[in-house]
Amino acid sequence: MSALPAARAADAAAPAVRCRELTKSFTGAGATVHALRGIDLDVPRGGMTMLVGPSGCGKTTLISVIAGILTPDGGECVVLGTELSTLHGQRLLDFRGRSIGFIFQQFHLVPTLTVIENVTIPLIINGTPTPRARAAAAEIIAEVGLGDRGRELPGVLSGGEQQRVAIARALVHSPALVVCDEPTSALDHESGQMIMALLRRFVSLRQATIIIVTHDDRILPFADRIARMDDGRIVGIDTEATAGGQR
Amino acid sequence: MVRFAHAQSRLLNTDGIIVNLIALKMLFGDRGKFVGMVLGLTFAALVMTQQPSIFIGLMTRTYAAIGDVPIADVWVMDPGVQYVEENKPLRDTDLARVRGVAGVAWAVPLYKGIINAKLPDGQTKSIILTGLDDATLIGGPPALIEGRLADLHRADAIIIDREAAENRLRYVGPDGEERSLAIGDEIEINDNRATVVGIGVSTRDFILVPKAFTTYSRAIDFAPPQRRQLTYVLTKGQDGEHPGTLARRIEAQTGLKALTSAEFEQLTLDYWMTNTGIPINFGVSVLLGFLVGAAVAGQSFFNFVRENLVHYAVLKAMGLRGGVLVRMVLLQALIVGGIGYWIGVGLTALFGTFMRDTVLAFRMPPALLAFAGVGVLVIVLLSALLAIRAVLRMDPAVVFRG
């Protein structure tokens, strides 16, 4: 009887993401690019981890692998206790749909759908009945401060507002892991700070794990951990003690 | 995991409606592209229905003279006849031979020939003169708007087709005014006096030569002397006699060609189809319409999907199945195809309505709607297949590219 709580405790203590010797190469135009050259990385549950490094160092490839939309050539990637290489086809889609939220640099909102319709998409994909999906979407849209804009199309919103909608969409189905690709690079400083404050608040409220790929040094103070990458490798980890202080 | 498999399966049922709505909103939301796609398909559907409708209308006219004599079951003619306007006369005795075949209820002579006519103002025109059996007047125009068929029994009497009277046989009167040929007017047919006693209405035919009707004996008088004058023998079978059977029996006993009305129409149609470039010309038009429509609509649809590829990739990253994405693209293609098809067909129908009772031939049978429907379906399915290929082959990591 005591084994189950012990297992749960061990599960909770396990990192949200655990990568070992992760490799990924791309071949094109006669040349092979080694994007990941043996990544070892642990991302603890909860909190905000940022991946930083120069362009082409493999950051985007790494979060694509962690999010289960790229298959690594070698190594191991355990996300939320599941080794991704064991998931294929429908099971992988289910895992992504249920467990992972996405925030993109260019927001990628469907321009012909209203704000509320965009936000309901992850719930609809997960089979939530439409009335419940719309209610949950309306609630989180209000939480990101756009309660009165639900019926508008993304095109009429500012960049910061669109990114807030994207955050609402990423979090509406309460995923355990959220991956963000340059969430502030298309925004001005003020909007960027507001978005990061919002993400931090959601990290605390929903106890999600957030991994952010960024070039934007101004948002580094929001991080709990910063993983520095170069040439397809993790070259350093700044932990909470050294990372930043806007939490 | 079971819960999510269940959830996905529900996407194909009730909640699938929402995914369909998303697909439709993506489609209708991009108005420029949507209009472009619909216009392309409308054009394709229009050309695929309008041009064949004119073609079918035109081809139908080739055998109009046969359809105008519905009372005849079997047409008997020279074995060399290939189409209804072809004049290869029979011997007068052939009429009696046909009458002697078992199962024939009646058989009457019909003369058809192209003869010169001189109008009151001196113009000379070629006309098709039809000579009807003196006793029964079988083979006349289906309707008369002035006069009576029986007036043909009056001296020198002829009936003129309305289309001819009002257009091609117009003449300049003594007062200098141009006028239609009317009852009481006198013309000369092959130097014989003929008086108009009626204006008939017959189906427009293909060769557009003015039509006139008179009795068989008078037609023989009008016509240039020939050893043989009888063009057709129109025959009716006795009650219960199958026209096809009767035709074969007449052929067997007389050595002449005997065709049911339907067979004769088909023979005439085949002649014009195989001996003129009309089918090729219209076929090329239809093919070009199909290709242009396919190119415009197909490319617009493919571009629409390609520009939305990142959104499909986002949906896929979020866990939407490839099969559902395929269904979304198919739905979009079918909706665009359906709208373009109905607008195109509607425009063709409108065109046909406006062209009714004009010189332009037009006939749109239901089979043509099916033909155009299949054509549009081929276009949208081909473009959808290309688009689906792009959706299924897309790299989902595209979502992380700025």
Quick check: A29 pLDDT over 80? no
Quick check: B87 pLDDT over 90? no
- Within a domain: residue B126? yes
**Residue B361 confidence (pLDDT):** 80
Alpha-carbon gap, residue B48 to B35, rounded angstroms: 19
**Residue B187 confidence (pLDDT):** 94
Domain that holds residue B160: 79-255
For residues B57 and B83, membership in a common domain is answered with: no
pTM given for the model: 0.73
Per-residue b or e along B376-393, where b marks 16 or more CB atoms closer than 10 Å to that residue's CB: beebbebbbbbbbeebee
- Within a domain: residue B69? no
Quick check: B296 pLDDT over 80? no
Q: Does A126 touch chain B (CB under 8 A)?
A: yes
Domains and CATH numbers, chain A: 45-71+86-243 (3.40.50.300)
pLDDT one-digit tens code per residue, B244-279: 999 999 999 999 999 999 999 999 999 988 888 888
- Within a domain: residue B124? yes
Per CB-CB distance under 8 Å, the chain A contacts of B1 are: 91, 94
ipTM: 0.82
Q: Which of B15, B396, B402 sits opposite A130 (nearest CB)?
A: B15
**Residue A12 confidence (pLDDT):** 57
Of B255, B288, B319, which marks where a domain is finished?
B255
CB B158 within 8 A of CB B195: yes
DSSP strands (E only) in B221-275 = 232-237, 257-260
Backbone dihedral angles phi then psi of residue B296, each to the nearest 5 degrees: -65, -55
**How many Cβ pairs closer than 8 A exist between chain A and B?**
109
More confident position, B276 or B159: B159
Alpha-carbon gap, residue A210 to A247, rounded angstroms: 14
Best probe of the A interface among B18, B20, B394, by most A CBs < 10 A, is: B18
**Residue A32 confidence (pLDDT):** 85
For residues B130 and B237, membership in a common domain is answered with: yes
Q: Does A224 touch chain B (CB under 8 A)?
A: no
CB B123 within 8 A of CB B178: no
How much of chain A, in percent, has pLDDT values that exceed 70?
Answer: 91
Per CB-CB distance under 8 Å, the chain B contacts of A94 are: 1, 4-5, 8, 319
Using alpha carbons only, how large is chain A's radius of gyration in Å? Answer: 18
**Residue A245 confidence (pLDDT):** 47
DSSP strands (E only) in B69-201 = 74-77, 104-118, 124-132, 143-146, 157-161, 171-172, 178-179, 186-189, 192-201
Query: What does the mean pLDDT of chain B come to?
Result: 87
For residues B150 and B43, membership in a common domain is answered with: no
**Residue A33 confidence (pLDDT):** 85
**Residue B1 confidence (pLDDT):** 42
| DSSP of A170-197 | HHTT--SEEEEESTTTTS-HHHHHHHHH
Per CB-CB distance under 8 Å, the chain B contacts of A106 are: 402
Q: What does DSSP say about strands B178-179 and B171-172: parallel, antiparallel, or unpaired? A: antiparallel
**Residue B4 confidence (pLDDT):** 45
Q: Find how far residue B299's CA is from the centre of its chain.
A: 32
Q: Find how far residue B198's CA is from the centre of its chain.
A: 29
**Residue A242 confidence (pLDDT):** 53
Cα-based torsion angle of the residue sequence B21, A141, A80, B5 in order, rounded to the nearest 10 degrees: -20
For residues B83 and B54, membership in a common domain is answered with: no
More confident position, B290 or B343: B343
Closest by Cα among B101, B129, B103, B104 to B115: B129
Number of domains within chain B = 2
Secondary structure of residue B193 in the 3-state scheme: strand
Across the interface, do B15 and A124 touch by the CB < 8 Å criterion? Answer: yes
- Within a domain: residue B120? yes
For residues B94 and B16, membership in a common domain is answered with: no
Q: How far is B394 from chain A (nearest CA, A)?
A: 11
Quick check: B2 pLDDT over 70? no
- Within a domain: residue B262? no
Quick check: B161 pLDDT over 50? yes
For residues B53 and B86, membership in a common domain is answered with: no
Of B195, B222, B255, which marks where a domain is finished?
B255
CA angle B297, B302, B304 (to 5 degrees): 95
For residues B116 and B166, membership in a common domain is answered with: yes
- Within a domain: residue B213? yes
Quick check: B157 pLDDT over 50? yes
Q: How far is B6 from chain A (nearest CA, A)?
A: 8
